[in-house]
Amino acid sequence: MVGSFLLLRCDVEEPPFSVRPIQGSSLAPDSLRSELLIFDGQQRLTSLHYAFEAPDEPMRYTKYPYRFFIQLDRLVDGKEEELVVSYRADQVGRWEDRGAQFKERVIPLTAVREW
């Protein structure tokens, strides 16, 4: 479960507070103009962005970027709470191609946007 988000509708020209992009996104802060601002939930959205987009930057308090995967064997084994796993980006080369992913029954979360 992700929880809820609180969005604030505002004037594009005069937002009520300084606007910053979600960490890890490629948006320049001076290009941000929106009618809706994230008032509560930015940390959750940042985490989701990191898991699904896999930027090449370390997560907070780590030295390495991480990648997130769905391990289908855990679903079959009834371990839904352990379904999503993370590994350091420099340790997942064996799953770079779809054939290896299929063989080991893993799906990178970055592939979800292709569905």
pLDDT one-digit tens code per residue, 27-38: 776 677 788 888
Q: What is the pTM of this model?
A: 0.76
Burial 43-56 (b: 16+ CB within 10 A, else e): eeebbebbbeebee
As to burial, measured by CB atoms within 10 angstroms (0-12 exposed, 13-18 middle, 19+ buried), residue 69 is: buried
Chain centroid to CA 96: how far? 18
8-60 pLDDT per residue, tens: 898 888 888 877 777 777 777 667 778 888 888 888 888 888 899 998 888 78
pLDDT for the residue 39:
81
Residue with tokens 């371990």: 79
Instruction: Judge contact between 71 and 78, C-beta under 8 A.
Output: no
